[in-house]
């Protein structure tokens, strides 16, 4: 879609407002709205000014001016605004030099794509993202000096069977029995249908949706893979649609990885493939039908996984998902079909163009632009340096004997451990100026201070239950 196409669409849809959006360093959409009459063909070159010092982790107050430059090919009509509104994803520029703003995650993802093409190894990297979420009827939580609690309500969950404050229509699901049930057990089908149709209307190629393993209300809606940047755009749009349609249904959605004790968490399984001249480079005669390039890509991701997870699993809660027995990877191994491995080679199809690798660690709290760029850079490092992935592990890793597990590296057990790994292993991210020391230092310092250290000081309900009578 060109700028002219966007302006024509605005007239055809009687658009009255234009919402300008960008992603901050930590993965949150920010926005500013203008009257539709202010959007002209020149706007796509000139951009719109805003205060960059008010965005966390960005400009100092003495150099706060920045520009939002809308990208025409990201346009979609907002499905939630009462006033007809066109949404445009923007990239950020310095208004004085007109150079790309280095802390703009979308620019960083572009640099990753350009670097990969510049290596000559591949001219395109495609990403597919399976982003899971929970939907609750209600979520209450608070933390203060004198109390801390959370309370979740979900009509599908077995813990709701005792409720008498309203009619209880039964058909609640038992723990870990949420995968693929039909209504009335699956109470979220209508909501997911609405999300699916809103995503299609916004331009995504939706493949399917279903209830996930956990109860209550865990779901997944899969959309077709695309380039690294476009899939990151789509993840941001996906999260926006899921949250707002849940709210419209009188419910609340969350991408928090592990909100429910004793049940599966939510991940964002990330599929990766490299292409050149319109053909996939992943298919070959090695293990699970992979090419040598595909095997080395696995080697690179496994080598750098601990550092990657500081970007792909960037919350303290992320690591409460990474425990045995809940379909989340705990050990850094690869396998065909095996969902207990950190990297899986899907075997649904033998078509060469469908061959890919799936990194199962990431979750929905990440900034998708940074996460996808980092995964691709780790894979390229493996290809460039011909890093062998070792032997596959085609067994249920959760049931391996202790002596065999000792030889299999484990994922980091905490955000702090991942951040420490990133601090010591990030040269592969600096190539081609994709990431910078400044960006990584800002990321590590902010996460350590605002999340790791802050969380360390907070007493929680488990500690009261365990230690109050000590």
175 burial via Cβ count (<10 Å: 0-12, 13-18, 19+): middle
Pairing of strands 65-70, 48-51: antiparallel
* pTM, full prediction: 0.95
Domain with CATH 3.10.20.70 in the chain: 3-103
Domain with CATH 3.30.590.10 in the chain: 124-459
Asked if 12 is an active-site residue, the reply is no
Which candidate in 263, 358, 363, 416 is catalytic? 358
State the CATH architecture for 3-103: Roll (3.10)
Asked if 466 is an active-site residue, the reply is no
Distance CA 1, CA 3 (A): 7
Which candidate in 19, 104, 130, 156 is catalytic? 130
Q: Mind listing the pLDDT tens digit of every residue in the chain (470 residues)?
A: 899 999 999 999 999 999 999 999 999 999 999 999 999 999 999 999 999 888 987 876 667 889 999 999 999 999 999 999 999 999 999 999 999 999 999 999 999 999 999 999 999 999 999 999 999 999 999 999 999 999 999 888 877 777 777 777 778 888 777 888 888 888 999 999 999 999 999 999 999 999 999 988 999 999 999 999 999 999 999 999 999 999 999 999 999 999 999 999 999 999 999 999 999 999 999 999 999 999 999 999 999 999 999 999 999 999 999 988 778 898 899 998 777 789 999 887 778 788 999 999 999 999 999 999 999 999 999 999 999 999 998 877 767 777 777 778 899 999 999 999 999 999 999 999 999 999 999 999 999 999 999 999 999 889 999 998 99
Asked if 269 is an active-site residue, the reply is yes
Asked if 16 is an active-site residue, the reply is no
Polymer length of the chain? 470
Which candidate in 51, 63, 396, 438 is catalytic? 51
Which candidate in 19, 91, 137, 212 is catalytic? 212
CATH no. for 124-459: 3.30.590.10
**358: helix, coil or strand?**
strand
Q: Which residues of 361-389 are buried (b: 16+ CB within 10 A; e: fewer)?
A: bbbbbbbbbbbbbbbbbbbbbbbeeebeb
């Amino acid at each position: 879609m060109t700028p002219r196409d966007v302006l024509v669409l605005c007239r055809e849809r009687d658009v009255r407002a234009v919402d300008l959006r960008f992603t901050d360093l930590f993965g949150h959409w920010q926005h500013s709205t203008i009257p539709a009459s202010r959007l002209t063909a020149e706007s796509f070159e000139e951009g719109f000014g805003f205060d960059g010092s008010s965005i966390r982790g960005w400009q100092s107050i003495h150099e706060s001016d920045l520009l939002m430059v809308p990208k025409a090919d990201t346009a979609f009509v907002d499905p939630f605004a009462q006033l007809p509104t066109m949404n445009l994803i923007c990239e950020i520029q310095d208004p004085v030099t007109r150079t790309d703003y280095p802390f703009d995650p979308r620019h960083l993802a572009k640099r990753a794509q350009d670097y990969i093409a510049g290596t000559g190894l591949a001219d395109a990297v495609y990403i597919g993202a399976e982003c899971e979420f929970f939907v609750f009827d209600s979520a209450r939580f608070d933390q203060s000096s004198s109390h801390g609690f959370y309370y979740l309500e979900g009509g599908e969950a077995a813990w709701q069977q005792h409720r008498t404050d309203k009619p209880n229509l039964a058909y609640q699901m038992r723990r870990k029995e949420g995968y693929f049930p039909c209504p009335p057990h699956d109470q979220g089908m209508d909501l997911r249908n609405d999300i699916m149709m809103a995503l299609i209307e916004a331009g995504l190629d939706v493949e399917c949706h279903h209830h996930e393993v956990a109860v209550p209300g865990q779901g997944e809606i899969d959309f077709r893979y695309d380039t690294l940047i476009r899939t990151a755009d789509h993840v941001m749009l996906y999260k926006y649609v899921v949250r707002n349609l849940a709210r419209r249904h009188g419910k609340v959605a969350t991408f928090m990885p592990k909100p429910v004790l004793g049940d599966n968490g939510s991940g964002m399984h990330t599929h990766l493939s490299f292409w050149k001249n319109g053909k996939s480079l992943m298919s070959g005669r090695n293990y699970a039908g992979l090419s040598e390039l595909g095997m080395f890509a696995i080697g690179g991701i496994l080598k750098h996984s601990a550092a990657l997870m500081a970007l792909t699993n960037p919350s303290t809660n992320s690591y409460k998902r990474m425990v045995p027995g809940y379909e989340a990877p705990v050990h850094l191994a690869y396998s065909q079909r095996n969902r207990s491995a950190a990297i899986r080679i899907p075997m649904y199809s033998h078509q060469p163009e469908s061959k890919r690798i799936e990194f199962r660690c990431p979750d929905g709290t990440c900034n998708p632009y940074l996460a996808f760029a980092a995964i691709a850079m780790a894979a390229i490092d493996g290809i460039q340096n011909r890093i062998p992935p070792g032997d596959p592990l085609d067994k249920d890793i959760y049931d391996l004997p202790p002596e065999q597990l000792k030889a299999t590296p484990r994922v980091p057990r905490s955000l702090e451990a991942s951040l420490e790994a990133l601090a010591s292993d990030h040269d592969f991210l600096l190539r081609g100026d994709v990431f910078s020391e400044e960006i990584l230092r800002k990321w590590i310092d902010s996460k350590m201070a605002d999340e790791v250290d802050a969380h360390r000081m907070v007493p929680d309900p488990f500690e009261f239950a365990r230690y109050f009578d000590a």
